A and B are shown apart, each in its own frame.
Chain A
């Protein structure tokens, strides 16, 4: 077994091992969330996933970007069939293992090349949109240097990977032309064929070095990219599927009825309950009303945070954000993810009961942001992966009001009115029918 096969096997094992470890951490972090049942209506969930995740239906609300995104996505997935050949070649020390497929092989590689070019062009357009046209939704206060760099790194990596793939095929064709040993005659391909001229007159030895370099660059790049995913917003390419599958299926306007509250209210309404009975001994830690930190959210809300790809469609349609308020739904989910990563690191370092004294509320998200929300559902409607930032906002509001009794003075008045006279304003319930006799 030669050194190149050994290094290749090592590359594959290390890459996959490292990726598995990071994915395990993410799953562990998501499971820090509270339980919620999203296993109803399986067939509805599958068709939703087919439509929204696989079919990217919500991306098409903005058709130009929608189509370009679909090209990158479809292209990237289909081209990865080629990676299978590359991996097998690497492991077996073969070259173009699938070439005996003959004309089918030519067809496949030609298709991959066309797609590679399209992906490359789309990524360049995306880079221009972000860095030259500076589309507004890619900016905003939560888009600090890392989120911007992350987005550019992803696009540049895809350009480089696609470039390496095309270059590799071009050099390969030239080596075939020279009759170089080991380079199977598969002919030239439509896109890389255009580049052959560049390599005229270069010695066979140099060409082999270039071909091997691009081959290694391409495959090492792909494995490196795989391991970059868990640190990046690009993880959405994997999580979009389960995230859409476990979407909220009830009407968007329906908020959850908190179970813990229901038990208490039912007891208050129970005519048979003994008003003088001593409260039952609490079992375990009392449940917190609403969310102060990420562990108070559900696993689905935490999955939302990891799935968010920071596209900013939510913030772009948020009435509060449009009118200059502090609230940005994208920031709510990015903060949730960043805090969850921080909590996860704390657990890795100091054990599972570690408390760093920080929380999602206030250390990340300010009250002012939460108070600006009109609960209009524009953000949830716009999200291409069915994230629900509104539910996080509401859970944080619940904590503020029910645990800290903290509300703007006007809300306190409104709530007192509802409690006292059954209306948000100070009108007597006895006057509720007065409209009948007015004109």
Chain B
């Protein structure tokens, strides 16, 4: 087991240090078994690149995104104000997160409530690390693999981030194959709008099955995504289709970490 260096803001403050960037882990990244692997992969990259970062640790709390999308604005703003108090007390300027829902909420909905930060999704952050020469990526085990990228709605349509994830996949020397519905026309995995936390309404198909079938049409080796909730939905979809031996679902951070033998 490799030892991860994960300083908390409290520790940093106690020793009089200030990180360059705060890693906002998110609830899925903290508690969901599959998403925790993404969190660890991303931290391995941060450690390797020597990034001066910190996490809030036990001081982090839900951004309020699922409450807001479900319609509970009151609970959302309670969460937001609480988080903003902590972030502002630590004088946080820059945040990176592996969750597009946290990304959207922190970046777009917090400023009006007094929380103004530079917020990056980890795909953008990783692309910057590569551009700045702090991280090098070679294809490794992904060389020549067929990878299709599922655009998370809250990264793509919601915030117009389409290129960064694709640039990362190309850096892996992999073959990027697009689904019929991609980028601004990408089909949701079915988890957004707080659907993750309830059974779907009555219908004739699950959304994640519809999306997985579309991904399968590209005959991929890997379905890549950049969202812990899309990860759950696509992984389940692949299982339902009984394709889990042929097709793997990975987060961008996991692939970059693995390509670096981390």
Task: Tell me, yes or no, whether B71 is within 8 Å of chain A by CB.
Answer: yes
Does the CB pair A394–B202 fall under 8 Å? no
Q: Which residue of B lies closest to A289 (CB)?
A: B73
Q: Which interface residue of B27, B55, B104 has the most chain A CB atoms within 10 A?
A: B27
Indicate whether B61 reaches chain A with its CB closer than 8 angstroms: yes
- Considering the complex, which residues of chain B in the window 89-129 have a beta carbon less than 8 Å from any beta carbon of chain A? 104, 107-109, 112-113
B58 touches A432 (CB 8 A): yes
Select the stretch in A187-195, A258-266, A301-309, A343-351 that faces chain B.
Answer: A258-266
Number of interface residues of A (CB under 8 A): 68
Is there a chain B Cβ closer than 8 Å to A107's Cβ?
A: no
The answer, yes or no, to whether B78 is at the interface (CB within 8 Å) is yes
How far in angstroms is the closest Cβ of chain A from B59?
8
* B contact residues around A394 at 8 Å (CB): 69, 71
Closest to A434 in B: B30
> Is A398's CB within 8 Å of the partner chain B?
yes
Contact A411 B198, beta carbon cutoff 8 Å: yes
Q: Which residues of A lie under 8 Å from residue B68 when comparing CB positions?
A: 255
Bound complex: CA A111 to CA B5 (Å): 73
Which stretch of B135-143, B205-213, B215-223, B247-255 is in the interface?
B205-213
1/0 contact string of B180-201 vs chain A (CB within 8 Å) = 0100110110111111111111
A257–B30 touching, CB < 8 Å: no
* Inter-chain contacts of A323 with B (CB < 8 A): 200, 203-207, 210
Q: Which residues of B contact A431 (CB under 8 A)?
A: 30-31, 58
Q: Once the chains bind, are B8 and A425 in contact (CB under 8 Å)?
A: no
Q: Which residue of A lies closest to B61 (CB)?
A: A422
Please measure, in the bound complex, the distance between the C-alpha atom of A413 and the C-alpha atom of B201, giving whole angstroms. 17
Q: Within the assembled complex, what's the spacing in Å between the Cα atoms of A381 and B187?
A: 12
By a CB distance below 8 angstroms, the chain B residues around A402 are: 71-74
By the criterion CB–CB under 8 Å, are B197 and A410 in contact? yes
**Of the 9-residue stretches A20-28, A86-94, A166-174, A245-253, which lies at the interface with chain B?**
A245-253
Chain B count of residues within 8 A CB distance of the other chain: 75
Chain B residues contacting A32 (CB-CB under 8 Å) are: none
User: Among B61, B107, B158, which residue has its beta carbon within 8 angstroms of that of A377?
Assistant: B158
Does A253 lie within 8 Å of B70, measured CB to CB?
no
Which residues in B have their C-beta under 8 angstroms from that of A374? 153, 188, 190-193, 195, 207
With A432-B58, A439-B1 as contacts: A317 and B197 at CB distance below 8 Å: no
The reply on B79 being an interface residue by CB < 8 A is: yes
A411-B81 contact in complex given A251-B160, A435-B39, C-beta closer than 8 Å: no
Known contacts A402-B74, A411-B194; is A317 also within 8 Å of B185 by CB?
yes
- Could you give, for residues 401-425 of chain A, a 1 whenever the CB lies within 8 Å of some chain B CB and a 0 otherwise? 1100001101101110011001111
> Which residues from B are CB-within-8-Å of A435?
25, 29-30, 36, 39-40
A429 vs B206: C-alpha distance in the bound complex, in angstroms? 32
Which of A253, A371, A425 has most B Cβ within 10 Å? A253
CA distance A253 to B205 in the complex (A): 26
Complex Cα distance, B153 from A58, in Å, reads 19
Given the complex of chains A and B, what is the CA–CA distance between A291 and B82 in angstroms? 27
Q: Is the CB of A250 within 8 A of B78?
A: no
Measured CA separation A319–B74 after assembly (Å): 28
10 A-B pairs besides A319-B187, A320-B203 with CB distance below 8 A are A257-B73, A262-B77, A320-B201, A323-B206, A371-B201, A410-B199, A414-B194, A422-B61, A425-B32, A431-B31
Shortest beta-carbon contacts, A-B, top 10: A253-B158, A397-B71, A375-B193, A422-B61, A324-B204, A376-B188, A254-B108, A324-B203, A410-B198, A401-B71
Question: Which residues of chain B have a CB within 8 Å of any CB of chain A?
Answer: 1-2, 4, 6, 8, 25, 27, 29-32, 36, 39-40, 43, 55, 57-58, 60-62, 64, 66-75, 77-79, 81-82, 85, 104, 107-109, 112-113, 153-154, 157-160, 181, 184-185, 187-188, 190-207, 210-211
